[in-house]
């Protein structure tokens, strides 16, 4: 049986961010699909004020259909957790498991900015108004432990995130069943602990498993071997 992981990247990122992890997972017997969301990476030419969370959900639904993805593990990293949540909710029974890698986990009617500390959400809106023509958010700085070589690699590739993707609420069917869900908590936490509420949810709600990883927020860049080991375990 094929072991497949469909990975949804985070804000300002794209398929390129998984470059280190792809060969590591394939060497461990896991096929990984790493599509790029509209308006980012090699699809930056499609960036516009009209790109929303729903646009990105449809991107992944299209990959599932065209690649005939079945019985795979769906992963969302950071913002990608918003997308993965809606996709899994719309396709009940399609995925073997759902993994959140230091990711946002919305409930019905919540946007990403709803899930952020209010001061941080305000900074996002202010940066879009000041630096992004009112509709796009420039990239945040990478984690402090990112090496100089990795900074040189990622900074030219990180692009602005469409603001509407961060403000549009996730629309979920509360009656739809969920696959088993795992939250991977990266434990090298920055000055603001944005993801603690989701790790707590995984610790206390039924249907969840909580795992930890000794890495900062983007382990696919800074800790690819450790991440590949963990993901190979989570893709049965």
Residues with catalytic roles:
78
182: phi then psi, degrees, rounded to nearest 5 = -120, 135
DSSP assignment of 58-101 equals HHHHHHHHHTT--SEEEEEETTHHHHHHHHHHHSTTSEEEEEEE
Token pair, residue 162, equals: 């469409």
Burial of 47 from C-beta contacts in 10 A (0-12 / 13-18 / 19+): middle
Which region, left, alpha or beta, applies to residue 169 given φ > 0 means left and ψ of -120 to 50 means alpha? beta
Strand 136-137, strand 31-33: pairing:
unpaired
Nearest to 10 by CA among 181, 186, 131: 186
- Under 8 Å between Cβ of 93 and 177: yes
CA-to-CA separations, 217 to 72, 77, 196, 212, 224, in angstroms, rounded: 24, 9, 12, 12, 12
List of residues 6+ apart from 124 with CB closer than 8 A: 113, 116, 137, 163, 166
């Amino acid at each position: 049986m094929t072991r497949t992981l469909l990975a949804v990247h985070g804000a300002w990122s794209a398929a390129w961010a998984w470059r280190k992890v792809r060969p590591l997972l394939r060497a461990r017997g896991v096929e990984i699909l790493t599509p790029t969301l509209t308006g980012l990476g090699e699809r930056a030419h499609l960036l516009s004020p009209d790109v929303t969370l729903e646009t990105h959900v449809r991107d992944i639904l299209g990959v599932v259909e065209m690649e005939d993805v079945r019985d795979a593990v769906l992963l969302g990293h950071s913002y990608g957790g918003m997308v993965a949540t809606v996709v899994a909710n719309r396709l009940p029974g399609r995925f073997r498991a759902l993994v959140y890698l230091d990711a946002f986990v919305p409930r019905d009617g919540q946007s990403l900015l709803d899930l952020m500390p209010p001061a941080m959400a305000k900074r996002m809106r202010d940066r879009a108004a000041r630096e992004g023509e009112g509709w796009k958010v420039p990239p945040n700085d990478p984690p402090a432990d990112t090496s100089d070589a990795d900074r040189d690699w990622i900074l030219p590739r990180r692009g602005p995130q469409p603001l509407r993707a961060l403000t549009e609420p996730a629309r979920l069917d509360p009656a739809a069943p969920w696959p088993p869900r795992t939250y991977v908590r990266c434990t090298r936490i920055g000055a603001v602990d944005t993801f603690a509420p989701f790790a707590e949810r995984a610790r206390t709600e039924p249907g969840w498993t909580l795992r930890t990883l000794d890495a900062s927020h983007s382990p696919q860049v800074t800790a690819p071997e450790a991440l590949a080991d963990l993901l190979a375990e989570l893709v049965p």
